[in-house]
Amino acid sequence: MKMGKSVQKLLIVDDSPEICKQLKWGLSKHYEVLLAQNVAEALKLFAKHTPRVITLDLGLPPDADGATEGLRCLEQILQQYPATKVVVLSGNEDHGNALKAVELGAYDFYRKPIELAELKVILERAFHLAQLEEDNHQLQALSKGYEGGMHGILGQCSQMEEVFNTIRKIASADIPVLVLGENGTGKELVARAIHAQSLRKDGPMIPINCGAIPENLLEAELFGHEKGAFTGAVGQVRGKVEFAHEGTLFLDEIGEMPQPLQVKMLRFLQDKTMQRVGGREMIEVNARIVAATNVDINAAIKAGEFREDLYYRIGVITIELPPLRERGEDICLLANFFLNRYIAEYGKKIRGFSSAAERALCAYAWPGNVRELENKIKRAILMAEGSFLEPVDLGFESGEQAAVIFSTEKMTLKQARDRLEREMLVDSLKSHEGNIAKASEHLGVSRPTFYDLMKKHHLQ
Ligand SMILES: Nc1ncnc2c1ncn2[C@@H]1O[C@H](COP(=O)(O)OP(=O)(O)OP(=O)(O)O)[C@@H](O)[C@H]1O
Ligand SMILES: [Mg+2]
């Protein structure tokens, strides 16, 4: 929601040069005053500036004594922008026409002679109402946009569209899904969306955070236990896996799952049966697995921390959530969504982000992704004192500073060139295993030049 603090525009349509002069003199302090003396001029200025409020004299040339031109002007403007507030300025003799104008959609009328102080109050109210309606309209437009997302997951960027497409395609297939993404990118939301669109949607959706439960308790938490299975096991308890029967089991942070449990989980995936801790009975469970992790699973496999065979089972379909900083306009969309949500929740009178704040939001790198964005906005709304959220409210020292630190947009061309040059040298050296003859040939430069560049970039 862009709401700059720029001066509001007021269009005055009147064929009397004296009145134009008087109003301009009296109102220029408060508004940017635009003047038109006939319908053609008025429509031209309107199209160019779309002022929210207009004062309109009905008697315009060529029908200066009637009202046809004024009413025509009113209709044309309201047709283009029904929300425009038109205040009709009428003489005593055309009172009937003023009422007709209101019927046609004029906001109000005011009888000449003009008392500036009174007219100012009317205009102020008109601007205020226009602003309220506009905010409300934007809110509605925004909330409509959200329905375009999926089960509370907002996003319009191409990467998120792709995520939505994948979810739509795979939700009803009864196969495991692995959701990948940095912290706070919405992995759990995606898991819930998959469940909600699957044939199991009336069954349970059981989440378990494999990273949050101590290793010795996780097994019982997952598979349950029989009475006396271990000290303290006073009765039989069913685990999350069993509870997920005919539904979805959401294994969150599966990258943190200890190796022995990875083996048990694999067995469950293969046989669709499990045993409670301390039990003998093989229990059949029909559950779909959706797993999520923020660790680099391929690296974890290479490091021997995650079993490759388990990965092949759960990673049949992977959905990769992009980091927030790569989602472009979505940052703004999400920021406004959270803004409106928490304004409503905390009942604060905040009108939006200042433009410096908006710039800072877009430039920041969001290591904590959507969750961090949500938290920053929630906090800002609680703490803010002005009517616009400023960079400091969001925890940025200043909009400019955030931009300098985090955005390549703020690089000079030379900095960007140098960075690319260095990256290409490094890549080329890597792919030719340090062979400078091959690397320089690959980049199309002579060997002496290549050496010079290496020196410039402090490469060995
Ligand atoms: N695209 C989105 N639209 C709306 N809200 C979102 C979106 N993505 C995330 N959120 C919100 O951000 C918060 C974090 O989302 P979620 O818990 O799904 O992320 P996560 O990837 O599971 O995070 P973590 O790695 O920290 O567990 C939640 O409050 C969620 O509602
Ligand atoms: Mg999560």
Q: Is the CB of 422 under 6 A from ligand 1?
A: no
pLDDT at 175: 94
**Closest C-alpha to ligand 1, atom 10:** 186
Domain-terminating residue out of 95, 114, 144: 144
Considering every ligand atom, which ligand is closest to the CA of 342?
A: 1
Q: What is the CATH number of the domain that holds 452?
A: 1.10.10
Considering every ligand atom, which ligand is closest to the CA of 294?
A: 1
pLDDT at 6: 61
Distance CA 56, CA 36 (A): 10
Considering every ligand atom, which ligand is closest to the CA of 182?
A: 1
Q: What is the CATH number of the domain that holds 180?
A: 3.40.50.300
**Closest C-alpha to ligand 1, atom 15:** 186
CA of residue 362 to ligand 2 center, whole Å? 24
Give the position of tokens 């061309």.
Answer: 413
Q: Are 112 and 82 in contact (CB under 8 A)?
A: no
Distance CA 287, CA 391 (A): 47
Q: Which atom of ligand 1 is nearest to the CA of 189?
A: 18
Extract the runs of DSSP E, i.e. beta strands, from 104-260: 108-111, 177-180, 205-209, 248-252
**Cα angle, residue 129 at apex, residues 340 and 122 outer, rounded to 5°:** 155
- Is 152 a domain residue? no
Q: Which atom of ligand 1 is nearest to the CA of 373?
A: 12
**Closest C-alpha to ligand 1, atom 29:** 371
Q: What is the CA radius of gyration of the chain?
A: 33
Q: Which residues pair with 207 in a beta bridge?
A: 250
Q: Which residues of the chain have pLDDT under 70?
A: 1-6, 136-148, 398-412, 414-416, 419, 457-460
Same domain as 285, residue 246: yes
pLDDT at 412: 64
Same domain as 172, residue 258: yes
Same domain as 119, residue 187: no
Same domain as 177, residue 35: no
Same domain as 430, residue 348: no
Q: Parallel, antiparallel, or unpaired for β 108-111 and 85-90? A: parallel
Q: At what angle do helices 413-431 and 447-456 cross, to 10 degrees?
A: 120
Q: Is the CB of 372 under 6 A from ligand 1?
A: no
Considering every ligand atom, which ligand is closest to the CA of 321?
A: 1
Same domain as 82, residue 16: yes
Q: Is the CB of 155 under 6 A from ligand 1?
A: yes
CA of residue 71 to ligand 1 center, whole Å? 53
Burial 164-173 (b: 16+ CB within 10 A, else e): bebbeebbee
Same domain as 213, residue 318: yes
Mutate to test the pocket of ligand 1, among 161, 167, 180, 188 (most ligand atoms within 8 A of CB): 188
Q: Which atom of ligand 1 is nearest to the CA of 160?
A: 1
pLDDT at 403: 44
Extract the runs of DSSP E, i.e. beta strands, from 184-287: 205-209, 248-252, 273-274, 283-284
> What is the number of structural domains in the chain?
4
pLDDT at 286: 97
Three-class DSSP category at 206: strand
Q: Is the CB of 153 under 6 A from ligand 1?
A: yes
Q: What is the CATH number of the domain that holds 360?
A: 1.10.8.60
Considering every ligand atom, which ligand is closest to the CA of 338?
A: 1
Q: Which atom of ligand 1 is nearest to the CA of 190?
A: 18
pLDDT at 4: 39
- Is 2 a domain residue? no
Same domain as 183, residue 315: yes
Q: What is the CATH number of the domain that holds 62?
A: 3.40.50.2300
pLDDT at 352: 80
Q: Is the CB of 440 under 6 A from ligand 1?
A: no
- Is 110 a domain residue? yes
Burial 140-159 (b: 16+ CB within 10 A, else e): eebeeebeebbeebbbbbee
Q: Are 116 and 26 in contact (CB under 8 A)?
A: yes
Distance CA 136, CA 141 (A): 9
Q: Is the CB of 184 under 6 A from ligand 1?
A: yes
Domain-terminating residue out of 277, 297, 322: 322
Q: Which atom of ligand 1 is nearest to the CA of 321?
A: 21
CA of residue 186 to ligand 2 center, whole Å? 7
* Widest pairwise Cα distance in the chain: 100
Three-class DSSP category at 387: coil
Q: Is the CB of 181 under 6 A from ligand 1?
A: yes
Q: Is the CB of 255 under 6 A from ligand 1?
A: no
Q: Is the CB of 185 under 6 A from ligand 1?
A: yes
**Domain of residue 386, residue span:** 325-408
The token pair at 320 is 């990769």
Mutate to test the pocket of ligand 1, among 160, 178, 183, 185 (most ligand atoms within 8 A of CB): 185
Same domain as 358, residue 303: no
Q: Is the CB of 371 under 6 A from ligand 1?
A: yes
Half-sphere exposure of 386 (CA within 13 A, CB side): 12
Same domain as 173, residue 280: yes
Domain-terminating residue out of 144, 174, 209: 144
